[in-house]
Structure 1
Amino acid sequence: MPLAVKSLILVAVCLVAFWGWTQQRARTHEARAEAAFPPEGQIIDVSGHRVHAVVMGNGPDLVLIHGASGNTRDLTFELAPRLAERYRVIVIDRPGLGYTARINRTGATITQQAALLQEAAAQLGADKPIVLGHSYGGAVALAWAVTRPDHIAALVDVAGAAKPWDTGLSTYYRVLSHPVLGPLVIPLLTAFVHDTRVEQAVREIFTPQEPPEGYLEHIGAGLTLRRHSLRANALQRANLLAEIEALHPLYGTITVPVEIVHGTADTTVGVSIHSEPLAAQIPGAHLAVLDGVGHMPHHSDPEAVIAAIDRAATRAGLRPVD
């Protein structure tokens, strides 16, 4: 056998061995993350789809929708327990993230996600809740209000993606959403990237504020690095701009009370690009602009977010006027 052929065979064997080792490391990392951060709530079956939801408190129904890369733990750290003192709070993992199963292999659209979350909330007894969405979750909440207007009492948008933007998709999301490169790169990230890298990225999202004490230990960074979650999140993010371009002309049809909260220091979702034109488009929408606050108002200024929820509930007739 020629030396060149032997060399090629050796390289192929080494690559196969390395790939198998990588997949094993990835599985070990995922198992460790899930053991350390198991589901916080209950797993329900919604038309054959596995959905993870956390329910707490009593009062008017309030659904909380997390942003990109996250899960229920972002909202159960502080906000949901505080709200549970006077609301029945339902926090739901979006498809492919946390412990809710993926809807498809192409990236669940915001309309598909809104439909699943609305059906899950109804199954939990909340047929017409107040709906709060943060960041990417804000786009899902807007899709809920536009496409399922009979199943929402009020909308609270917190630093939400709402309007088209002109910056391109980052290299990170272009690679991870690519049909060939994504499946090759993602197992490497799961296998070899440490959870502290996710924690550092979270710190950057909070800028100019810092995460509250205990937050990084609560959120379960390893859950974000699971292979199916990285892929689902990347596909959703890659498809988001086109979905918002199709949806945003319909925001003017929203008739429920709308409260919007956004910080001036948000460099992830700019207030002037998203929330200011959104507030101008929806009749009666109220925008609270938080000076110097970054992309995580529900942690950096939870009082402002809770006040917006209370205003939405009052305007919807679900709470008495103070």
Structure 2
Amino acid sequence: MLSDGFVFLVVAGILSVLVIGNVVFSFVAERRNPPIGNFIDCEGVRLHYLERGDKAAPPVVLFHGNGSLIQDLIISGLVDRLARRNRVLCFDRPGFGYSQRPRVRIWTATAQAALFVKALHHLGVRDPIVLGHSWGALVAIAIGLQDTYPVRGLVLASGYYFPTARWDFWMMSGPAVPVLGDIMRYTLAPVISWAILPMLLRKMFAPCAVPANFKDNFPAALTLRPKQLRAAAEESAFLIPEAARLQSRYSSIRCPIHIFHGTEDHLIESEQARRLHKVLSRSNLHLVNDAGHMVTYVDGDTIVQAVNSLSVCLEQPLRIIPSRDENGRSPG
């Protein structure tokens, strides 16, 4: 029989190989996919952001979802299309892409919003339209709830706004557990994430196929780094509590809001968008037929129209795109 000491050495050796392999993998991933934007230091946090368009144009701020990064919003076409008429700023949220996520802070949607508001002040951004996809929609809402930082409007896509029984979110939060999670994300978690990534992408884009330009240009290797896996796991754990904490404050948002959601979203049910629309007094609901969680790829033109309708000059009356009914049809 094998001795306990021998088994321990074998296990330790395997774990050591995995740790070294993941460190090397992260290094290679970053060499092949260097930062594409600029950096700003705010409250001891280094944030990576991309800026496009005319600085004198109305500002639009974009936030990606959990596990993603700036490139997602670029590949969708939103950044380039919005930059034709607006000053566009797109951030890697804390822990994603090349933005830091210090462990001394709990990165709730409100904490992220406070950080971004200060960063936007430093960048001279006033009265922006804020667009958030998926988890980024909660950050956009938290910015809209800031008393000292007015926004022109919010555009929310595929968001999760009300707590429900979702065991899948909790199951994905393992790498966020202290110590054990740290061991996981430097050993098995990147391997498991790499194995399930194709299935997860198919689920996110379903019922549509994963676009060819996404397959070719999205830096998936960056999302598999241990530090980004920790951020993604934390946000999986925080999602339901954050929705529960914020839901009582939604009705206090006073700016115009456009809510987008795919009717075939297999990750977050479209009922979330319907419920939010009922709560908000100045919202338009856009239910997009035959679209899944990545509604930003399916109905980007309408999303751009919604943003541009909010960025009209203050002297002009605000043009609101007609909302759609529960079946995704425009009234009239």
* TM-score, with structure 2 as normaliser: 0.88
Tell me the secondary structure at the aligned position of residue 172 of structure 2: helix
Q: Render the CA deviation track for 1:290-320: whole Å, top value 9, x for unaligned.
A: 1121111111121121122122324966898
1:264 counterpart = 2:263: yes
8 Å CA contact retained: 1:107, 1:236: no
Partner of 1:221: 220
Q: Render the CA deviation track for 1:101-120: whole Å, top value 9, x for unaligned.
A: 00326751111111112222
Alpha-carbon spacing, 1:321–1:248, altered in 2? closer, same or farther (3 Å): closer
- Report the Cα offset of residue 204 of structure 1: 2.0
User: Superposition RMSD on alpha carbons, in Å?
Assistant: 2.4
User: Relative to structure 2, which stretch is displaced further, 8-17 or 217-226?
Assistant: 8-17
Name the CA distance, whole Å, in 2 between partners of 1:101 and 1:92.
12
1:249 counterpart = 2:248: yes
Q: Render the CA deviation track for 1:93-152: whole Å, top value 9, x for unaligned.
A: 111111110032675111111111222222222132110000110011111111346332
1:309 to 307, 310, 320: 307
Where does 1:29-108 land on structure 2 (aligned, <5 Å)?
Answer: 29-58=25-54, 59-77=57-75, 78-104=77-103, 107-108=106-107
Alpha-carbon spacing, 1:103–1:146, altered in 2? closer, same or farther (3 Å): farther
* Unaligned 5+ runs, structure 1: none
Partner of 2:137: 138
8 Å CA contact retained: 1:66, 1:74: yes
Name the CA distance, whole Å, in 1 between partners of 2:283 and 2:220.
35
8 Å CA contact retained: 1:118, 1:151: no
Alpha-carbon spacing, 1:47–1:181, altered in 2? closer, same or farther (3 Å): closer
8 Å CA contact retained: 1:93, 1:99: yes
8 Å CA contact retained: 1:71, 1:98: yes
Structure 1's consecutive aligned runs of 4 or more residues displaced over 4 angstroms after TM superposition are 193-197, 315-322
Q: Render the CA deviation track for 1:25-49: whole Å, top value 9, x for unaligned.
A: 0011111111111111011111221
Q: Render the CA deviation track for 1:55-75: whole Å, top value 9, x for unaligned.
A: 001221000000010000001
Partner of 1:296: 294
| Paired amino acid for 1:230 | L
1:28 counterpart = 2:28: no
Name the CA distance, whole Å, in 2 between partners of 1:13 and 1:319.
72
Q: Render the CA deviation track for 1:253-310: whole Å, top value 9, x for unaligned.
A: 10111111111111211111x1111111111211111112111111112112112212
Q: Render the CA deviation track for 1:169-223: whole Å, top value 9, x for unaligned.
A: 4464143333354223222246635857424422221000123221122221011
Name the CA distance, whole Å, in 2 between partners of 1:20 and 1:238.
28
* TM-score, with structure 1 as normaliser: 0.90
